[in-house]
Structure 1
């Protein structure tokens, strides 16, 4: 008797590690735990070394097939000052012919297409080919709620969102401070706001939405999005919403020489004594902020591992399309004079990009100064590492508020890091708060809370857990 071949699912990722990594992890879970066959279509930037390293990981080809779709030339379709958000939307729109060609030539046709939000216009390809189409949101449920409800806010609110005196009301969810809105909502006259509203209207057109969170973490927001919930009723959005996370990458088996040296240094440090500092694959700091951060780390008197890249004034996502290309010690000249020599033995500087999961899982890491990208947040929580929230762009201000004020998983600066330079004293305070040191003698509630959520995340992904069951239901629907 011939064995039935696994049902084939195609997943579509837009450029950027924050999109690519969760999509690959979702594909791996569908293959390894739910007996599906998966192909990932990765529209890549072609300029990011980190992106290439992820795609060339020796582990991925044995689990799922990766098709690299080079970014189409959009030079004549965008202005030089257009945002990363706008560029990603245009890139994914222009990649549709290549995506359609691959899908239509796949024999037999895949049973489902799963797109990330920037690929929302490819939902129509699923309709044309008569296959199920899902949207996979790599961030959390509160963020998804804001996105899909934005067309209603667009009609209700006059003027700029950031000028509103009262929090924005999202039915069934926590209110949102105007200053915490997504980047595309900061200027309603900008092109990215128009693209953002298209995305907001496009996501509910899919057959279901998968969210990279778990039931026990965000039950309230998830229920509002589901049929019968307040947002669902307001939008007449009657599609399933599945919490399938936290989907995070595994530590890399093949480590670089620099990573091995770093891990050896961490082996020599006391348990939970080192703060890890990184602003994601695309974040950059200004020259002034970079110097204040250096002084703050020195002032904290805590051990540190800092992923540094050349500062870029005023453009916080300047490294998005070029992560990992710089070499040498180009950033040293931007640090305070004598900083490197004064902190020798106390801290390590890592140029441009690091194998983050290998670092976060190490027992010597006790805190994470993070931009609060949702991928990095989940990597931190699943390793039981408390955060010092330092949002830069995209939805990160919202993430920081969620982590610090609602979930109790992070501390944050008094002044918004996106509005003012965070001074050294404030940086030192945050670092000491996540890594109190022996002199404190007080229980660390943030650390305790992170440990609780670490276990909750593990339970959700385990067989019988909420996320495992949700993804099982998705797989069952696809197969049927």
Structure 2
């Protein structure tokens, strides 16, 4: 890219921390190139988090707030993000409500064009498929960000066409056409790929998003080529739009030099574990996992019996059942209910394992920190991510339900067994060695000579080259 060129990128993340955070890291990655300015669109309730996350990027980053629609029948008043939803069953109403923001979004694009701040291209979340129409009105290329890896995207696209797996039982294994080494079950999928839904608002939303994606300029992927070359190549050979691997985006997390000198209590606790020579298992399941009290209780019993040191970040309702555990393991285990800096935790030298829901952000952050994963997926793409972590990459182990399925109740005995296996067993040592190698490959990918760095440069060049120089002013 010509260092003297002026490129203006619009970023529009979906209203969910798991989607916003990687987009903010992408903004930082873009700003490492000269001549780039960025405008981020969000809503008033999400704006403070974004502004707090980007304090050192002014004046090259502007933030435009669009009012989130009010009086949506299914949504509680004031809810503007998934982490505020009382249940993830309300995801589709939240996502569909964003369509009502389209007129304000287009007025803002018009203002940017009219004020001489022409937009070079838009990167918007795949859940905001309606932004394609807006981009087309202004002759602006639109790229899509889903936050998924190529392994998941490719499998889901192949199985959306070949639906023979829908005839099988929920735990009956099958292979994926074109990838005979992959063994999956229906329980690895949510609707509609598990056959439980054939119509309705959820299916309609997925179809709309898929069509908008297929008509967009490209896919921006939080992954790196060396991690999954067969799936990147297959996608770019068989499907559209082109996938651009520019990650891992967590490598460009902001430096923490601006942190107050006083360390958070949880970092002090980890520091103490280092002094004691104790390895710590970090446990977190994201902000949207809905875990029953019964399951939390079994997890607590298993962790207590394991005698492993652990740091458990709990967001689930009903976490009061863990109060007894906190008393029993005081000093050895720490339960935290506040927001923590996950990247900093994973990079702490005392943390030697991560029990995770396998959201892709968390999986990549763990890989980058060379911390092996104990995969316990809950929803969405997490089951496929868990397969990838344990079976494709061999950087983690997998927790299975008591009935042998990939879904279902997990007893305390299984929790105890798998925690010990990861933290103390030979299998844990094997995946620890493997994740160190993969983490090093991730670091090299985002260096200036690396594959992801070069790919982002190519993306900018090709997208700007295809841009219509005369934006339409409406």
TM-score scaled by structure 2?
0.84
In the alignment, what sits opposite 1:111? 120
Which residue of 416, 420, 424 corresponds with 1:428?
A: 416
Residue 167 of structure 1 pairs with residue 178 of structure 2: no
Q: What is the distance in 2 between the residues matched to 1:66 and 1:400?
A: 35
In the alignment, what sits opposite 1:262? 266
CA RMSD, 1 decimal: 2.9
Which residue of 137, 146, 156 corresponds with 1:128?
A: 137
What's the secondary structure of 1:362's corresponding residue? coil
Shift of 1:261: 1.4
Shift of 1:97: 1.9
- String of CA shifts for 1:95-153, please: whole Å, max 9, x gaps: 22222221121133201011111012211211111111111231100222244445524
Shift of 1:336: 6.2
Q: What is the distance in 2 between the residues matched to 1:411 and 1:18?
A: 23
Which residue of 407, 414, 418 corresponds with 1:419?
A: 407
1:21-170 matches, cutoff 5 A: 21-33=21-33, 35-43=35-43, 46=45, 52-57=48-53, 59=55, 61-62=57-58, 64-73=61-70, 75-76=72-73, 83-106=89-112, 107=115, 108-149=117-158, 151-153=160-162, 156-157=163-164, 163=170, 165=172, 167=174, 169-170=176-177
Shift of 1:223: 0.6
Q: What is the distance in 1 between the residues matched to 2:25 and 2:233?
A: 25
User: Which one is further off, 34-43 or 131-140?
Assistant: 34-43
Q: What is the distance in 2 between the residues matched to 1:29 and 1:257?
A: 27
CA contact (8 A) 1:308 1:350 kept: yes
Q: Which runs of 5+ in 1 are unaligned?
A: 313-330
In the alignment, what sits opposite 1:328? none
Shift of 1:356: 1.1
- String of CA shifts for 1:65-93, please: whole Å, max 9, x gaps: 22233432362367998824413430332
Shift of 1:27: 1.4
Shift of 1:218: 0.6
Q: What is the distance in 2 between the residues matched to 1:88 and 1:162?
A: 32
Residue 202 of structure 1 pairs with residue 212 of structure 2: yes
What's the secondary structure of 1:446's corresponding residue? helix
What's the secondary structure of 1:411's corresponding residue? strand
CA contact (8 A) 1:14 1:43 kept: no
1:399-418 matches, cutoff 5 A: 399-415=385-401
User: Which one is further off, 64-73 or 272-281?
Assistant: 64-73
Q: What is the distance in 1 between the residues matched to 2:405 and 2:102?
A: 37
Question: Aligned pair in 2 of structure 1 residues 132, 272: CA closer, same or farther (>3 Å)?
Answer: farther
Residue 463 of structure 1 pairs with residue 465 of structure 2: no
In the alignment, what sits opposite 2:228? 218
In the alignment, what sits opposite 2:312? 306
Question: Aligned pair in 2 of structure 1 residues 296, 278: CA closer, same or farther (>3 Å)?
Answer: same
Question: Aligned pair in 2 of structure 1 residues 261, 117: CA closer, same or farther (>3 Å)?
Answer: same
In the alignment, what sits opposite 1:322? none
Q: What is the distance in 2 between the residues matched to 1:433 and 1:34?
A: 48
1:315-326 matches, cutoff 5 A: none
Which residue of 319, 331, 334 corresponds with 2:321?
A: 334
Question: Aligned pair in 2 of structure 1 residues 454, 147: CA closer, same or farther (>3 Å)?
Answer: same
In the alignment, what sits opposite 2:185? 177
CA contact (8 A) 2:149 2:360 kept: yes
Question: Aligned pair in 2 of structure 1 residues 358, 159: CA closer, same or farther (>3 Å)?
Answer: closer
User: Which one is further off, 303-312 or 82-91?
Assistant: 82-91
TM-score scaled by structure 1?
0.83
What's the secondary structure of 1:96's corresponding residue? helix
Q: What is the distance in 1 between the residues matched to 2:260 and 2:299?
A: 27
In the alignment, what sits opposite 1:243? 245
Q: What is the distance in 2 between the residues matched to 1:360 and 1:465?
A: 23
Question: Aligned pair in 2 of structure 1 residues 85, 167: CA closer, same or farther (>3 Å)?
Answer: farther
Q: Which runs of 5+ in 2 are unaligned?
A: 77-85, 466-474
In the alignment, what sits opposite 2:429? 444
Question: Aligned pair in 2 of structure 1 residues 149, 101: CA closer, same or farther (>3 Å)?
Answer: farther
Q: What is the distance in 2 between the residues matched to 1:251 and 1:423?
A: 40
